[in-house]
Structure 1
Amino acid sequence: MVEDAADADPRAAVVAAVRRLDALGLNRGSTGNVSVRAPRDGVGGCWITPTGAAAQGLGADDLVWVGDDGRVDGRWQPSSETPMHLAVYAARADLHAVVHVHAVHATALACLRRPLPAFHYMVAVAGGDDVPCVPYHLFGSEALSQAVAAAFARRHAALLAHHGLVAGGRSLEQAMTVTVEVEALCRTYLAALAVGEPALLDAAQMAAVIERFTGYGRTARR
């Protein structure tokens, strides 16, 4: 299990997450990036994976701290997608971790420039009745960052056209859960599309699911 981002050293949790993503085949080589929110001295910021870093050999000391004020602390350059991560944190004060992957099925759907609709109730794991597809923008660009931030105003995940998937969570564990689930849903949706256009759940049905999700999870018996 990936440690929560609130642990004493969140960098170790990020490294564990990167290795799990690689083991699951959701990222390969140096693709993708992971961050956790980490204010320092009253300045907002995050720990993020360095650019060009692969899971193999990545250590906690390789992570880079980037502040909202532009400060950078670390021996490597931060991920080229750092602006996107910071934009998500700025848009959503409740999110404390961001995961970006080039997972095969999510990326395939994103290359069709199609959102993931409410064909299955678990789409609600992303916070609504779909996972939107953000229009294509150059990776690392301000345009991409702002487009993702706009999508995250109402969701916990978004597909990036011709690029991949980005997901957020109140903890790193939740962000990972959303990432893995959305990739699995994209795989199922693409399989359904091979046969025909799937029927969709309506707004009322998805609203009921979202309401049920607010109290769903592992809880103690009364």
Structure 2
Amino acid sequence: MSGKGGKGKEAPPGNAARSGKRKTKPIQRKTKSAASDNVAARAAVIDTAQKMSREGLSPGRSGNVSCRFGQGMLITPSGLAYAELTVRDIVYVSGDGTAQSDAPKPSSEWRFHLAAYQTRPDRHAVVHTHSLNATALACAGKAIPAFHYMVALAGGNDIPLVPYATFGTQELAGHVANGLRNRDACLMANHGQIAISQSLAAALELAFEVEQLAAQYIKALTIGPPVLLADDEMERMVEKFRNYGENANKHARG
């Protein structure tokens, strides 16, 4: 490559070669860095999906995981067992919905993942599960109200329920986008739950919290109507959790 660069210059070949080296090194570092980031992001998606399955949040091959990447996202494939996934199985889907051609089919729910990122540019990871208690509430047509202050983790005074639509459709993507417009989690009628956050680890943690809250709410309903917290108290909780999250992020950055 340096020889070709030398032909286009009147400088001595030695200078041209040295000039060529100075030009190619940054390009090599950039290419290696991009490839490394790609592999690391794919591995993180796999790790999150396997934890989701292993911890019982989504049985079998149900649920899906993605992270924002470049101008699109990396998402788990359709129909493959999480325990057997490799980085080559994770599918890149561009912002216009075009899937990587040399990979398996993306999850059938890629549309609502993409809709979540488009609706919430401040969020970078999506975890969708069919966890037992959250799904039970969703099938009973119940949102999770402000029965416990931890509901504020989702960003408001409830964890809303979005209407049912056939899986994999743009209609369902629209419902999910509406549900996540000012929340970080919602239930999906007759389907499951979805959680979003700034990282895969945080999105998975929120999905666990939603499942725990769903279990507590179902238990409370068996005793009697739960006492709900006032809106102003929930607003205080949302602000407290926001500050808590900012402090945690600062600590993580060191």
Regarding TM over 0.5, the answer is yes
Of Structure 1 and Structure 2, the greater helix share is in 2
- From 169, 174, 183, give the equivalent of 1:146: 174
2:201 paired residue number: 173
Distance apart, 1:69 and its partner CA: 2.2
* SS at structure 1 position matched to 2:44: helix
2:233 paired residue number: 205
- From 47, 50, 74, give the equivalent of 1:16: 47
2:224 paired residue number: 196
Residues 1-222 of structure 1: pairs in structure 2 closer than 5 A: 8=37, 9-39=40-70, 44-73=71-100, 74-217=102-245, 218=248
1:4 paired residue number: none
Counterparts in 2 of 1:213 and 1:70: CA distance versus 1, 3 Å: closer
> What one-letter code is carried by the residue in structure 2 that aligns with 1:199?
V
Count matched residues. 210
Higher relative contact order (CA closer than 8 Å, sequence separation 6+): 1
> What one-letter code is carried by the residue in structure 2 that aligns with 1:96?
H
* SS at structure 1 position matched to 2:226: coil
RMSD over equivalenced CA pairs, Å: 1.3
Distance apart, 1:55 and its partner CA: 1.5
Structure 1: give runs of 5+ residues left out of the alignment.
1-6
- Preserved CA contact (<8 Å) 1:127 1:210: yes
Larger Rg: 2
* SS at structure 2 position matched to 1:56: helix
- Preserved CA contact (<8 Å) 2:97 2:111: no
> What one-letter code is carried by the residue in structure 1 that aligns with 2:84?
G
- What do residues 13-67 of structure 1 show as CA deviations (whole Å, max 9, x unaligned)? 111111111111011111000000011xxxx210000001222211221100001
- Preserved CA contact (<8 Å) 1:31 1:54: no
After TM superposition, the structure 1 stretch with the greater mean CA deviation from structure 2, 149-158 or 62-71, is 62-71
Distance apart, 1:146 and its partner CA: 0.4
- Preserved CA contact (<8 Å) 2:144 2:160: yes
Structure 2: give runs of 5+ residues left out of the alignment.
1-35
> What one-letter code is carried by the residue in structure 2 that aligns with 1:100?
H
Query: TM-score, structure 2 length as denominator?
Result: 0.80
> What one-letter code is carried by the residue in structure 2 that aligns with 1:10?
A
